Structures are given as C-alpha cells and as structure tokens.
A = this chain, B = another copy of it.
Amino acid sequence: MIQGKQIIGFEESGEGTDILKSINPGTGETLGQFNKATPAEVEKAVAKAAAAFQIYRKKSGKEKAAFLEAAADEIVALGEDLVNICCAESGLPQGRIQGEVGRTAGQLRLFASLLKDGSWVDARIDTAIPDRTPLPKPDIRYMQMALGPVVVFGASNFPLAFSAAGGDTASALAAGCPVIVKAHSSHPATGNMVGKAVAKAAKATGMPDGVFSLLYGDGSTVGTQLVKHPEVKAVGFTGSYSGGKALFDAAVQREHPIPVYAEMGSTNPVFILPETVKNQAEGFAKGFSGSVTLGVGQFCTNPGMLIYENTEDGKQLTNKLEEHFAQTSGGVMLGSNIYRSYNEGVSKHLATSGVETLSKGAQSDALNVASPILFKTNSQVLGENPDLSEEIFGPTSLVVEAQSKEDILNIARNLSGHLTATVHGTEKDLTDYKDLLDILEQKVGRVIINGFPTGVEVCSSMVHGGPFPSTSDVRSTSVGTAAIFRFTRPISYQNMPQSLLPDELKNSNPLGIWRLVNNTLTNDKI
C-alpha cells in the first residue's frame, strides 16, 4: 500500500490525520493512503511559493527551460511504474497513459523551447526623443512578466497531461510563476510520483525551494484556502462547471480579485451539412461514433451533440449512426462519482419526453463501466428543453434533427459557449452555410472542419478555451504556447538605465529576441 505525503517545496510533510484513499475504479481496491493537507501545511506551501517567486521570477529563460526539460526527463524516466499506477488509479488503458506521458513531457519541452527562443515576452521599445516639442518623449520599454504564485487544480480525466505537471503547471512555470498543485483526489499516487519528479528536477537545476508544491485534500477546504490566499495570484482549473464556478466566485470576491482560468466543460456541437450527409454518411457515422466513445467519452472535447437536417438522406445517416454506434464499447470510468454522474445524465435524457434512444454500445454491469448510448431528438424538443444541450461527461451524444437550414442556424444561435464546434461539409456545403460558420466562431474557441474535436493538438496556434460557460475566461487558452499569457501581465519601464533593464529590453538585445522597436518588428540590437 502506497503511503503518500504532501510535497512542500523540497520537503515532504504528512501532518494531517484526515486520509484520502486512492481507489482502483475497475476493482474497488485501495491502492494507497494520503494525508490530506492541514491548514498549516497549505500556509507553508504558499509561504514557500511566495518566497520562491522572488528568486524564480529572475531566472533566465534558459534556466527555466533547463528546469522544464529536466522535469520532462524525470517524468519519462518513471517508466512503467508511472504507467502502471496511473492505469490502476484512472482505469484508463496502458496505450492511452503511455501516450499521455509523451504528451506531458512534450508540453514541458514545448514551453522550454518557447523560453529558449525568448520572443514570447512581447518586448516593445519606444526610444526617447529628447528634443520633441512641446514635450520630450521619454524612453519606454514594455514586456510581459510573471504574476506570482499560481494554484493548479489537477483534472480527473487527464491524470498526467492536465494534472501535477500538465499544461497549467507547465505554462505557469514557464511564465515564471511558482506552482502549488491541488492534486486530484482520484489519482493521488500518480500525482505523488509526478510531483516528486518535478521537485527533483527543480532541485537538480538550481530552482528555489517552493517553486513547486503538491497537496492533497478537498476542493472545499484545501482548494478554497489556496484560492483565497492573498499571496496566490492566479488559478488554473479543469473540471466541472460547479467546481470551476465556485473557484471563480471565491476569487472575484477576494479583497484583491485574481484571475481564474477554469475550463468547465462543453458539449462540442457537430454539424453535418447536406452534401456530406448524402455522400459520406458511412464514414462520418463511423468517425463520429469513435469520437463519442474514445477514452470512454471522458474528453472535454467529446462531441455531445450532432445536428443535421431531417431529409431522406438524413434518415440514411441516422441508420448508419445507429449501426456504427452499436459496435462501440464503453469501459471503466475514472471514478465512481464520474460513473454515477454519467448514469444520472443518461437517466435524465431517458426520462425526457421527445428524446429517444437511437443506439446502444456494448452493455456491461462491471464495476464503474459505462455503457455507450446515443440519443435522438428534434429541434423543437431541444428548443423546449435547453438542458438537453448540457454536457453529459461520458460515452454519449444527442442527435438533433433540424427541419431546415434556418432551423440549423437557430440551433447554432441558441448555443451557449463551447470549447469547439465542428462542421462537416463539402466546399459547396461550407459556402452555402457560411452563415453557420459566422455564428459558430462566436460561440467557441476552435472551429473544426471535417474532423472531430477530440485530439487537441499542443502547438502555438491552439485555442482550448471558449466563451462562458465552457471556460471562465474567454480571453485565454489552456493548451498550446499562448497559455503562458494566463500567468503574466505587462510592465513598462520609463527611462530605466540600461544596466538595470531586463535582458529582454536592453539595447544590445543579448537574447536576440524579436521586439517591436519604434513600431517596427526586429531582432536587431538598437
């Protein structure tokens, strides 16, 4: 049995008597026991982070990059041990977890390369014009700098890539912010192994004690104490609407409000347009069924709604969906609470008049194993029951038959904010439905053409975010390099002597970065 403690900077601490158990959702077996953090331990982690910030914020991009790369190496070096415990805690299959190790290391290395390049700071320099009339123009220089200690809430559905050393942690550390992780209670052993790897990397690369901590405990106690702490300057979260909104509310009610980047779920509507309905029903139905049930449907970008026109071709598509979805299978969900929520959501749909079951995947009675189910309704019922468009986390989706193009546009207009929207269409379809694209891009963070929303590429151009309620801050992304700006803010230096300026803003441009100098983009020195 694993016994785990808080990771508070370079120390371990287990003062609490309240115990969190790690449970294998597939077997019910207890894998380990973890002391939940006491208020004093939370306070200590924050105090260490605040002290570490004064050192860490001055580390060069190369130094921070070495830390992130070392963390990636340490995580990869955990090898099978990490994969095994993570599979046991999450119920996810080995191939998926192996992929997630790669993704986690890849994210850390992507941010390391961003730091080594250095241009991300958005340096802007306006040089002085002493003889300008009526007033001289001062020398002003601008760049992004780190906000301060950041609290990251691990996600249940990505025990590696969105947890202890996941995208939020990687982007906050890259920005120059110490991180305190509130480990997700469904995979504390995984968090412990990864957390120790990050702490080891921090020590090995000369980072300050407290640049990284990882605590166990409940969101309502440990989480709330962290979010309300005056030294905490921003929060990253991936999870449920109720959890994310509670953190947002706590943060904006502080004496000094702070930003909360909560990614709170999304139904990710998919639209399939007439020519594609007619000519590609088979391939679409297969791809869609696979996307809905991939990873037991436990992705933020799971396509939870499919809209198309109720024509003869549409009926054929319905048949194909019925057929392909019947060939899907479920799997062990991430935990018993998620399994319970899934079944509650499914029951609610089953009880809604006008919603029918179109198809079912393989059924199972095994512990915490979700059975896929595809529902069908029409636009009128959807209009009368807007709750139907809310996310059910798991392997299910709702097929909505619309009556006309205008009806499809109306469904789009009535969407709330989502992470993604997907449109399948030929060139003619897309041109005919340009109006639809115009509406959708205002409802989501990412518009996908002829693909599926699952599979979020980690790159410079990714937006994994969207209008409320899919996230609490539409101005941000939690995946890709632009995620770094969640944890920074601009600063200007006026008439600062060269020797006291950050390297990014010195005339000599020692880092060779791109800068906007007197409104011209250049990587030259001045």
Contacts and interface: CB of A to CB of B under 8 A. Distances in A.
Interface in A453-504: 455, 457, 459-463, 465, 467-469, 472-477, 480, 482, 485, 488-497, 499-500
A360 B324 CA distance: 85
Contact of A441 (B145, B431, B465, B468): B145
Contacts of A126: 457, 459-462
Given A461-B141, A469-B256, A449 B489 contact: no
A125 interface: yes
Contact of A445 (B113, B475, B490): B490
B462 A140 contact: yes
Contacts of A477: 490
Given A126-B457, A252-B252, A451 B495 contact: yes
Q: How many copies does the complex hold?
A: 2
Contact of A492 (B430, B445, B473, B493): B445
A257 interface: yes
A125 B125 CA distance: 26
A474 B473 CA distance: 14
B494 A447 contact: yes
A441 to B, nearest CB: 6
Given A256-B468, A446-B492, A519 B460 contact: yes
Contacts of A252: 248-249, 252, 257
A117 B451 CA distance: 33
A259 interface: yes
Contact of A135 (B427, B455, B516): B455
A485 B144 CA distance: 13
A237 to B, nearest CB: 15
A124 interface: yes
Interface in A429-452: 430-431, 434, 437-438, 441-442, 444-451
A511 to B, nearest CB: 14
Contacts of A431: 499-500
A396 B450 CA distance: 64
A137 interface: yes
A138 interface: yes
B124 A460 contact: yes
Contacts of A499: 427, 431
A98 to B, nearest CB: 11
Interface string A375-393: 0000000000000000000
A241 B437 CA distance: 41
A521 interface: yes
Interface in A411-441: 416-417, 427, 430-431, 434, 437-438, 441
Contact of A459 (B113, B140, B488): B140
Nearest to A485: B475
A430 B497 contact: yes
A441 B494 contact: no
Contacts of A496: 447, 449
Interface in A308-352: none
Contact of A451 (B138, B145, B488): B138
A266 to B, nearest CB: 14
Contact of A457 (B137, B249, B514): B137
Contact of A463 (B476, B482, B490, B495): B490
Nearest to A482: B490
B497 A138 contact: no
Nearest to A502: B441
A496 B463 CA distance: 15
The 9 closest A-B pairs by CB, nearest first: A142-B461, A463-B492, A124-B461, A446-B492, A252-B252, A448-B494, A140-B461, A256-B468, A126-B459
23 contacts: A119-B521, A124-B461, A126-B460, A126-B462, A138-B448, A140-B461, A142-B462, A142-B482, A147-B474, A249-B252, A252-B252, A257-B468, A431-B500, A437-B500, A445-B492, A447-B492, A447-B494, A449-B493, A449-B495, A449-B496, A462-B492, A465-B490, A476-B489
Given A447-B493, A449-B495, 13 more contacts: A126-B462, A138-B457, A142-B461, A252-B257, A256-B468, A447-B492, A448-B494, A449-B493, A449-B496, A465-B490, A475-B489, A477-B490, A514-B521
